[in-house]
Each structure stands twice: as C-alpha cells, then as structure tokens.
Amino acid sequence: MPEPPAPPLTAFPDRESAAAEFKSSLTSFAEFGKKLSKAASGFANTGGGVFVMGVDDHGDADGGVETVVGRQALSDWIDVVVHQVLPTPRYRTHLLTEADGRGRIEPGRVVAVVEFFESAQVPHMADDERYYIRAGAHTVPAGQFLVDALYAKRGVGKPVLAHAFRMKPGFPGTVQLGVMTLSEAPAVQVRIDLSNTAAHFKSVEKHLPLAIPVIGSSTPFFMDVATFHDADERFGTDVRLSVDYQDLEGHDYHYVARLNISDSLPPLSIGTESNEKAAKALEKIERTLRSLLKHVDSGSSSDPTPSTTPPAPPSDA
C-alpha cells in the first residue's frame, strides 16, 4: 500500500508540548541522533507525538536540514536511529520541501518530521539503555516505578467487542445472541441493552440493560433471545444493540449494531450429531424388521402345507 502524501508544515504544532519536540537546523546530526532516540522512547511510552528537525521554537522552518547524512539518505539514517530503540515503536517519516508560509526551507534541504504513534508494547528503551517519557515539552528519564507500571501495561490493549447469533448447543431451534471480544484485551463493566424489539420481547427488554462484570477471550456472553422458527415475530427484524464497556485503564467504549436473526443465521438444519443418532435409529429399525421377517419365514416352512391332491378312491379288495 503506498504511503499517504506528507501533510503540509502548517498541519503540525506551532509550539512544543508533550506531543511535539522541535530541533533547529543548527543542530548537528550527532546531537540529532541522541535527541531522536530519546524522543522515540519518550513519545512511544507516552501516547505518541512528533519530532521535527529543521524548525525554530515556534515550529517554523529555519532553513531545513541536509537530505544526506554522510553517505546515507536522511530517511535511511532516521530508520537506523529509530530501530535502535527496543522494541522499535511504530512511526512514519515526512520530508517536507515547502514551508507553506511558515519560515523558509533552503533549496536541497527539508524539514524532517518523525511521527510516533501510541504503542501497546511499552516500555521502549532508547539506545543508551534507558527509558524515557514526555514531561510537558521535555523528554526525561522514567523512574523505576514508572518503568514497572509501563511493563504492567504491556499487552493490555484495547478491547474490541462484537456480536453474533448462534444456535444454542444441545437445544436445536433456540437462538442465542452473543457478545464477545475480538482482541486479547478483556472488556469490563459491560452494559448490554436492546431496543426496538418485537412485542413478545418487551417483557425481557424491561429488565435491560444487563450488567456483565467482564467479557474476555475465554468468557463470551450468550443469552437466549428466540426460537428459530418464529425469531422475527418474537425478537424483531430491526433490533438495536447497544454495548457500553471499559478497558482495564477505565477508558470508555461504545458498540452499536442493528440485529436481524433471519439475515444472520442459515436455515435450520439437522446437525451432525442428530444425523448420527437418526442413522443409528434407522439401522436398529432395519435389524428389527429383518429379524421379524426371518422369524416369519422360518415359522412358515415348519407348518405342513395343505394338500391339494384329492384322496384316493377306496379299494374294491
């Protein structure tokens, strides 16, 4: 997939903050490298941000930086520096040749913007084997307690909930609505609500929303909602599902969907287990019939067959 076009310089901040760090064109590349490595760690550990080379304190271009570092293209040099951060954070490089009214960029030079994204693989360690965070407009070393907290956060991503209908195991014909997570992260404080249901379902709807403590990858939630043969009449054809939930850090999420059972499940059919039971039953019936027929045939052959020959006339002797 091709990279999206670089945004103009005017799309980036005009002052330093927790999400933006500026470096002047007068900075040496040796210093750029040290600052970039620390900033990569800091931004990745603190929600993301941009590191901009070739601008003044207001984010305006002050001449720009060279496009070659030694014998290496600037973008390649940036890749080398960022990949020394472990684990390597997700990032994107923009090389801007136009100032768009914000300062000046000399011919053959660029403003280099390295954009770092929020990471779920924290903490990220800079090439000096230290961990950094953003504190206001500065990148500072993280204390050990913060590093421990970041490690505890690793792997705790965002929960993503979705829904599905299924036939209830062991109860053919009963339809269940399920809410499950598509990610490894659990959803907590889950509230499930249904509206615009059919008249038959209103007695259930009045007890909603349902409060579920946690929905995880191994603990999905299922509830009986209808029987298959009359699902549309008893559940509805345009039901609104609304799910509110949180991640382990207390961030709020919301999931909404329109539900129609008939459009979500295939026509009802006998499952594999039922087929096997039916086949065994038919075999038993067939064996019984064969046994009965055999018994009938055997009984018929032992009985004397009535003679159709007329009796001989009496002798004159």
Task: Give residue-wise pLDDT tens across range 144-185.
Answer: 989 988 887 775 567 889 999 998 998 888 889 999 998 878
Last residue of a domain, one of 96, 119, 153: 153
- Do 46 and 84 lie in one domain? The reply is yes
Q: Which domain holds residue 230?
A: 161-264
Residue 2 has pLDDT above 60, yes or no: no
Instruction: Tell me if 295 is assigned to some domain.
Output: no
**For 73-85, what is the mean pLDDT?**
97
- Do 197 and 97 lie in one domain? The reply is no
pLDDT band at 306 (very low <50, low <70, confident <90, very high): very low
- Do 36 and 13 lie in one domain? The reply is yes
Instruction: Tell me if 132 is assigned to some domain.
Output: yes
Higher-pLDDT residue of 272, 257? 257
- Do 15 and 35 lie in one domain? The reply is yes
- Do 139 and 166 lie in one domain? The reply is no
Calculate the average pLDDT of the chain: 85
* Number of domains composing the chain: 2
**For 77-89, what is the mean pLDDT?**
96
Instruction: Tell me if 307 is assigned to some domain.
Output: no
Q: What is the pLDDT of residues 193-222, one digit of tens each?
A: 999 988 888 888 788 899 999 998 889 999
Instruction: Tell me if 302 is assigned to some domain.
Output: no
Give me the pLDDT at residue 77, please: 98
Last residue of a domain, one of 104, 131, 153: 153
Instruction: Tell me if 313 is assigned to some domain.
Output: no
- HEC assignment per residue over the chain: CCCCCCCCHHHCCCCCECCEEEECCCCCHHHHHHHHHHHHHHHHHCCCEEEEECECCCCCEEECEECEECCEEHHHHHHHHHCCCECCCCEEEEEECCCCCCEEECCCEEEEEEEECCCCCCCCECCCCCEEEEECCEEEECCHHHHHHHHHHCCCCCCCEEEEEEECCCCCCEEEEEEEECCCCCEEEEEEEEECCCHHHHHHHCCCCEEEEEEECCECEEEEEEEHHHHHHHHCCCEEEEEEEECCCCCEEEEEEEECHHHHCCCCCCCHHHHHHHHHHHHHHHHHHHHHHHHHHHHHHHCCCCCCCCCCCCCCC
CATH code, 200 = 2.60.40
- Do 16 and 146 lie in one domain? The reply is yes
